[in-house]
Chain A
Amino acid sequence: TQLLEQSPQFLSIQEGENLTVYCNSSSVFSSLQWYRQEPGEGPVLLVTVVTGGEVKKLKRLTFQFGDARKDSSLHITAAQPGDTGLYLCAGDRETGNQFYFGTGTSLTVIP
């Protein structure tokens, strides 16, 4: 059983569309991170959120941490083919840097 469930698992959209990826858990996290992974490479950090209700923006990407620090969302505005990849959330349950990854969302943006 995964500690963090992501939805949707797969997403295929046209260039210019908006999308939201969800990361949900019944556990509370001291911080939550979002990563993007491309084929043949390791995940690369996009953002870290640490405060309940926190919203962070990275160009066309908006990340939100739930008030109870159990869930998070990633919203992409006007998706581009370069956004294609596997998006992963990861939660740190304790201050000992024990990171548990979500189930992943595979995004394909069609030109």
Chain B
Amino acid sequence: EAGVAQSPRYKIIEKRQSVAFWCNPISGHATLYWYQQILGQGPKLLIQFQNNGVVDDSQLPKDRFSAERLKGVDSTLKIQPAKLEDSAVYLCASGTLGSPLHFGNGTRLTVT
């Protein structure tokens, strides 16, 4: 089966600019997650979708981050405006109830 697809792989922007990341989960996976991972640390959950509804976005900095999954399949994560501390790898994962997570290879964001 095809894995979780993410794009772009790398993005370099200046602070205060906007950026968007895209994720296509594994077909049939109802649950989609966005994680932020600082180099060498564990991923931090930003938002979890179940189909097109939000299950948990308690750690999403809502003043600058937004995410959507309009048709319950693909998802986009946006940062506007970006700050230096947003430099990280943004991982998308998908899964079904009772199954492990399947991760994409992530988008490495550098904010200068």
Contacts and interface: CB of A to CB of B under 8 A. Distances in A.
Interface of A: 2, 4, 6, 33, 40-45, 48, 86, 88, 90, 95-104, 106
B40 interface: yes
Nearest to A98: B56
B19 interface: no
Label chain A's interface by main secondary structure: strand
Interface residues of B, number: 27
Interface string B80-112: 000000000001010111111101111000000
A101 B43 contact: yes
Contacts of A45: 100-101
Nearest to A41: B105
Contacts of B35: 101
Q: Which of A43, A48, A98, A102: most chain B CB closer than 10 A? A: A43
Given A42-B4, A96-B55, A102 B97 contact: no
B108 to A, nearest CB: 8
Interface string B44-78: 11001010000110000000000000000000000
Contacts of A88: 42-43
B64 to A, nearest CB: 22
B91 A97 contact: no
Nearest to A100: B45
A108 to B, nearest CB: 12
Given A40-B105, A42-B104, A2 B42 contact: yes
Contacts of B33: 99
Given A42-B106, A100-B45, 5 more contacts: A6-B42, A33-B101, A41-B106, A43-B101, A99-B101
Given A41-B105, A45-B100, A98-B56, A104 B93 contact: no
Sorted nearest first, the 5 A-B pairs with minimum C-beta distance are: A42-B103, A101-B42, A104-B42, A45-B100, A101-B43
A90 B50 CA distance: 19
A102 B100 contact: no
Contacts of B103: 42-44
Q: Which of B4, B41, B55, B91: most chain A CB closer than 10 A? A: B41
